[in-house]
Amino acid sequence: MTDTLRVLGISGSLRKGSFNTALLRTAIAKAPPDVKVEIADISAIPAYNEDLRTQGFPATVEKLRRQIAEADALLIATPEYNFSVPGVLKNAIDWASRPPNQPFAGKPLAIMGASGSTSGTMRAQYHLRQIAVFLDMHPINKPEIFVRTAHNAFDGSGQLHDEGTAKLLPQMWTALVTWTHKLKG
């Protein structure tokens, strides 16, 4: 259990002041020493078009696919848009998932999210779990991290002030690390 685990973090929001990116950064700051987290940049991935793909994966997608393939596990922080995952996140997943060598297959996954409402991305996270089923990923079930009324949970500089979530992040890491080692055998 001494091997360093490589985790790829993905935020489903592109905005600078994103609560989900802040949540991802907070989680990274609390990662155990044997976990190294890299953050994927999905901001320049074009809208999926099969005609484009037949010309080859764009460089941004090639990079994302390589990062996913090289990661031992993924950590996705998703906003909720209209009760589902944002288009930019789904678009990045759609691109990366195309053959050959679908890179998500077999990857352990942890999901979390922050939204302005009191449901804290519940519906989006369950949609993401459904997507993970098709992609043959292995999400951890608990803890579920739903950051509700995110404007109250973070201050203006993206610091988390929600004690409940702060307590769940180490539990998430323990669950993800244990699960990842179990799946690696």
Ligand X SMILES: Cc1cc2nc3c(=O)[nH]c(=O)nc-3n(C[C@H](O)[C@H](O)[C@H](O)COP(=O)(O)O)c2cc1C
> Quick check: 134 binds ligand X (CB under 6 A)?
no
Beta bridge partners of 112: 77, 145
Which residue is it, tokens 């941004």? 60
> Quick check: 115 binds ligand X (CB under 6 A)?
yes
Q: Which is nearer to ligand X, 152 or 174 (CB)?
A: 152
Residues with Cβ within 8 Å of residue 11, at least 6 apart in sequence: 18, 20, 21, 24, 39, 76, 77
| The two three-digit tokens of residue 15, written as one number | 């905005």
The site map against ligand X for 38-57 (x = CB under 6 A) is --------------------
Query: According to CB under 6 A, which one of 79, 103, 108, 139 is a site residue for ligand X?
Result: 79
Kindly state the smallest distance separating residue 21's Cβ from ligand X, in Å: 6
| The two three-digit tokens of residue 50, written as one number | 């099969």
> Quick check: 161 binds ligand X (CB under 6 A)?
no
Q: From the CA atom positions of the chain, what is the Rg in Å?
A: 16
- Name the site residues for ligand X (rule: CB under 6 A): 13, 15, 18-20, 79-83, 114-117, 119, 150
